[in-house]
């Protein structure tokens, strides 16, 4: 194992204790071999969240009690993007909470080198954990559904559709209230189908969702993953206070407004930049920028 990685991990252990961190977030895909990962976990000797893009990834044998595992979308992301997504998923799974301090260790996928250490105070750096947003997810939204929508949004932000950038919006949770504050722009393509055939957790629906992402309007997703509508125009009854940051367009404003008037969470993909912006409680809680290239080697 590389000297830099071992040194970073050992120092991370000391830093985590000195700053009273709750957990260390470790990007496991940096390390290729399970034996090396197990050695790192042993060196850390601290509560660890292992972050991976790999399907079916599990903690090394014998380390299950010390480690939790979260999976992030298998799309190119900056290191900052990786950390933001990992924090969101960890919060959805209940591994971290408002007020926690988290130490993050990351680096290039499969490089074998941990080269970045970031300490985050939940509620300061990431608005999702502020008092204004209360719980990270609406009460009716399961972590699995949120993670699936986040993956689809990330893929659309990076890949677009058939080589063309797309901008779209997913509104998840509190769907009855959202539906009363919206109406169809086009005929609802999901209307009339059995719920079992229009659940966002069904991988067979992925291409259909991506195809309909080119339609103006929002996807409305129930907390259990059932897609209630696409092509929905949001018309929330209220104004934003405070207003959104400059540079965000009407789609972002609609996303923020509907979350201010409901308990829903909204994920908005910018057609111009590919950035995924996440709104809750009328606020931009975090955004995940699309990397300039097809790698995750930039911060």
Low-confidence winner among 125-129, 184-188, 228-232, 274-278 (lowest mean pLDDT):
125-129
**For the chain, first and last CA: distance in Å?**
23
- Percent of the residues in the chain that have a pLDDT greater than 90, as a whole number: 41
C-alpha atoms less than 13 angstroms from C-alpha of 257 in its C-beta half-sphere: 17
Alpha-helical segments (H) within 160-234: 175-180, 206-212
Confidence of residue 133 (pLDDT cuts 50, 70, 90): very low
Confidence of residue 228 (pLDDT cuts 50, 70, 90): very high
Q: How do residues 241-250 score in pLDDT, each as one tens digit? A: 677 777 688 8
Measure the CA–CA gap between 270 and 8, rounded to whole angstroms: 36
More confident residue, 262 or 242: 262
Q: What integer is the mean pLDDT of 174-199?
A: 96
Instruction: Count the Cβ atoms, other than its own, within 10 Å of residue 206.
Output: 14
Q: How do residues 20-41 score in pLDDT, each as one tens digit? A: 998 999 888 887 676 778 887 8
**Contact partners, residue 3, CB within 8 Å, separation at least 6:** none
Domains of the chain: 3-131 (3.40.1380.20), 143-288 (3.40.1700.10)
Question: What global pTM score does this model have?
Answer: 0.82
Q: What integer is the mean pLDDT of 207-225?
A: 95
Beta strands in 122-226 (DSSP E): 168-172, 182-184, 218-221
Cα-Cα-Cα-Cα torsion 272, 275, 278, 282, nearest 10 degrees, comes to: -40
Q: How do residues 82-117 score in pLDDT, each as one tens digit? A: 888 888 888 888 898 878 899 998 887 656 688 888
Alpha-helical segments (H) within 127-201: 143-159, 175-180
Q: What integer is the mean pLDDT of 277-296?
A: 76
pLDDT confidence of residue 299: 62
More confident residue, 255 or 85: 255
pLDDT confidence of residue 132: 45
């Amino acid at each position: 194992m590389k000297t830099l990685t071992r040194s970073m991990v050992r120092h991370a252990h000391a830093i985590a204790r000195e700053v009273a961190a709750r957990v260390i977030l470790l990007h496991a895909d940096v390390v290729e071999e399970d034996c090396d990962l197990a050695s790192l976990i042993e060196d850390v000797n601290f509560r660890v969240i292992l972050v991976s893009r790999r399907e079916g990834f599990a903690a090394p044998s014998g380390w299950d009690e010390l480690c939790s595992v979260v999976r992030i979308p298998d799309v190119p992301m900056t290191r900052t993007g990786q950390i933001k997504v990992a924090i969101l998923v960890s919060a959805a799974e209940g591994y971290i909470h408002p007020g926690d301090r988290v130490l993050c260790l990351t680096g290039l996928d499969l490089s074998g080198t941990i080269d970045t250490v970031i300490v985050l105070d939940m509620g300061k750096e990431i608005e999702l954990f502020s008092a204004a947003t209360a719980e990270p997810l609406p009460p009716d939204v399961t972590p699995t559904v949120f993670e699936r929508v986040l993956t689809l949004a990330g893929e659309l932000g990076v890949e677009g559709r058939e080589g063309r950038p797309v901008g779209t919006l997913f509104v998840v949770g509190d769907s009855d209230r959202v539906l009363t504050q919206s109406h169809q722009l086009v005929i609802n393509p999901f209307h009339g189908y059995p719920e079992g055939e229009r659940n966002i957790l069904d991988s067979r629906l992925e291409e259909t969702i991506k195809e309909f992402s080119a339609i103006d309007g929002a996807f409305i997703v129930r907390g259990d993953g059932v897609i209630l509508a696409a092509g929905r125009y949001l018309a929330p009854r209220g104004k934003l206070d405070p207003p959104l940051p400059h540079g965000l367009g009407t789609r972002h404003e609609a996303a923020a407004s509907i979350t201010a008037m409901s308990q829903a969470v909204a994920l908005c993909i910018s057609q111009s930049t590919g950035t995924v912006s996440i709104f809750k409680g009328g606020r931009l809680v975090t955004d995940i920028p699309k990397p300039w290239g097809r790698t995750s080697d930039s911060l």
